[in-house]
């Protein structure tokens, strides 16, 4: 069953999501050629701590392993869960996905963005544009009375109409007191399927889009997911509150932040 948040839970979700969005925006400012992903992760760690929050990624357990970094930093063919490394130096023409998940006062804020490093190829810029637009289109389907499959189908239809592919092994999800709550939100599917959307749900909607084929694999570190064909991948994510009318994006900043 999908948790429905009460007024107090929504208040706390707003707080955690504002912190997550602020950290992500400030981390984005640090992306440049020559910086290592380890250094970016350490900056993310310090930003999270400056708000009195904690990284929900650090120590996250999957099977017998615990995630060793504070943020997820995925470069080029890395789809998600990239681990910051001194050996990974950003270069002009790269893209990097920044995924920031924090916990504050018992509630999670989750968001992600893919950004260019210097000047990137036009076709790679198109990948980023389409993935970000797919997120917006998916969010527009998070309406009371719709179903989860309506979000999934909208994302898939839009992405594939532009010649890209959606990752099928990784999905969006509910979010609240835990990083992963019900429901799962695939980026592919059929309309009018899945659980019905009601007001008070908080959903992490996150299209992961590949330039090439949709198949992915896990690297020997047990965490980093990469495209099987080596093509670049983009990832955009917001935490969204469903309401009695249009959805509200919680991980969006007032300007200026």
pLDDT digits (tens, 9 = 90+) for 75-102: 999 999 999 999 999 999 999 999 999 9
Token pair in block for residue 204: 């992490």
Residue 99, Cα to own-chain centre: how many angstroms?
A: 6
Q: Give the per-residue pLDDT at 1.
A: 87
7-249 CATH, one of 3.90.230.10, 2.60.120.200, 3.40.50.300, 3.40.50.1820: 3.90.230.10
* Rounded CA separation 103/217 (Å): 28
Query: How much of the chain, in percent, has pLDDT values that exceed 90?
Result: 96
Give pLDDT, residue 92. Answer: 98
Q: What integer best gives the mean pLDDT of the chain?
A: 98
Q: In the chain, where are the structural domains located?
A: 7-249
Tell me the per-residue pLDDT of 204-227, one tens digit each, with 9 for 90 and over: 999 999 999 999 999 999 999 999
Model pLDDT, residue 4: 98
pTM: 0.97
Q: Three-state SS for 253?
A: coil
- Tell me the backbone φ, ψ of residue 76, rounded to 5 degrees: 55, -105
Find the mean pLDDT for residues 168-183.
98
pLDDT of residue 256: 53
- Position 255 scores a pLDDT of 63
- 246-257 confidence digits (pLDDT tens): 999 999 998 654
pLDDT at 64: 87
The answer to whether the beta carbons of residues 214 and 225 sit under 8 Å apart is no
Which ranges in 84-121 belong to alpha helices (H)?
none
């Amino acid at each position: 069953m999908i948790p429905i948040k009460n007024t107090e839970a929504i208040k706390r979700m707003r707080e955690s999501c504002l912190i997550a969005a602020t950290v992500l925006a400030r981390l984005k400012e640090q992306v440049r050629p020559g910086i290592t992903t380890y250094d970016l992760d350490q900056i993310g760690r310090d930003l999270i701590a400056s708000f009195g929050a904690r990284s929900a990624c650090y120590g996250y357990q999957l099977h017998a392993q615990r995630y060793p970094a504070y943020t997820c930093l995925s470069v080029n063919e890395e789809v998600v869960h990239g681990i910051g490394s001194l050996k990974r130096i950003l270069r002009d023409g790269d893209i990097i996905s920044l995924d920031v998940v924090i916990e504050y006062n018992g509630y999670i804020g989750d968001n992600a963005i893919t950004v260019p490093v210097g000047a990137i190829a036009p076709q790679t810029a198109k990948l980023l544009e389409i993935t970000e637009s797919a997120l917006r289109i998916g969010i527009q389907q998070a309406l009371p009375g719709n179903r989860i499959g309506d979000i999934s189908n909208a994302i898939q239809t839009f992405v594939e109409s532009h010649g890209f592919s959606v990752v099928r092994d990784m999905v969006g999800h509910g979010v609240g007191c835990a990083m992963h709550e019900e429901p799962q939100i695939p980026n592919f599917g059929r309309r009018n399927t899945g659980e019905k959307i009601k007001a008070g749900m908080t959903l992490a909607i996150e299209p992961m889009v590949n330039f090439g084929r949709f198949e992915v694999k896990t690297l020997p570190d047990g965490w980093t997911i990469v495209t099987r064909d080596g093509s670049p991948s983009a990832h955009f994510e917001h935490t969204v509150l469903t309401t009695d009318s249009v959805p509200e994006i919680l991980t969006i900043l007032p300007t200026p932040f």
